[in-house]
Amino acid sequence: MMSVEDTEKAVRQALDSLPTWVEEELGEIAVIVEDSHPDGLMGIYDTVGGLQRVVIFRDANQNAEEVKQTVLHENGHHFGIDEDGLDRLGYA
C-alpha cells in the first residue's frame, strides 16, 4: 500500500495535470485521502451536507497511476458524467 505522503503527492500531481479550465470549474471542491472504504471503493465523489469533496482511498489505489485515474474519475462525477460516460472516456 502507498504511504499517506505518496498518495497525497499522487493526488496533487493528478490535479496539477488538469487543464486550467477544469481547475477553474472545480472551484472549492476538496480532495482528501483516507485509508479505506468499507466496500473497497477506490474513491467517491461526496456531496453530503452541501459540501463537495472527492475522497481517495489509499488501500484500493496501488500506485500513482491508479490514484490519477481515480482522481479524474471522481472529478468526472462532479461534472455530471455517469459511470457509462466515464467508461467511454476511459476513466472507469
What is the CATH number for 30?
A: 3.30.2010.20
* Predicted pLDDT of residue 53: 94
Mean of the per-residue pLDDT values for the chain? Answer: 93
For residue 17, the enclosing domain spans: 4-82
- Does residue 43 fall inside a structural domain? yes
Q: Residue 54: which of 20, 90, 91, 87 has the closest Cα?
A: 91
> Tens digits of per-residue pLDDT, 1-27?
899 999 999 999 999 999 999 888 888
**Number of structural domains found in the chain:** 1
Asked whether residue 64 is domain-assigned, the answer is: yes
Domain assignment present for residue 90? The answer is no
pLDDT of residue 55: 96
Instruction: Name which of 46, 52, 43 is nearest 70 in CA terms.
Output: 43
pLDDT of residue 30: 92
pLDDT-derived band at 61 (thresholds 50, 70, 90) equals: very high
Q: pTM of the entire structure? A: 0.91
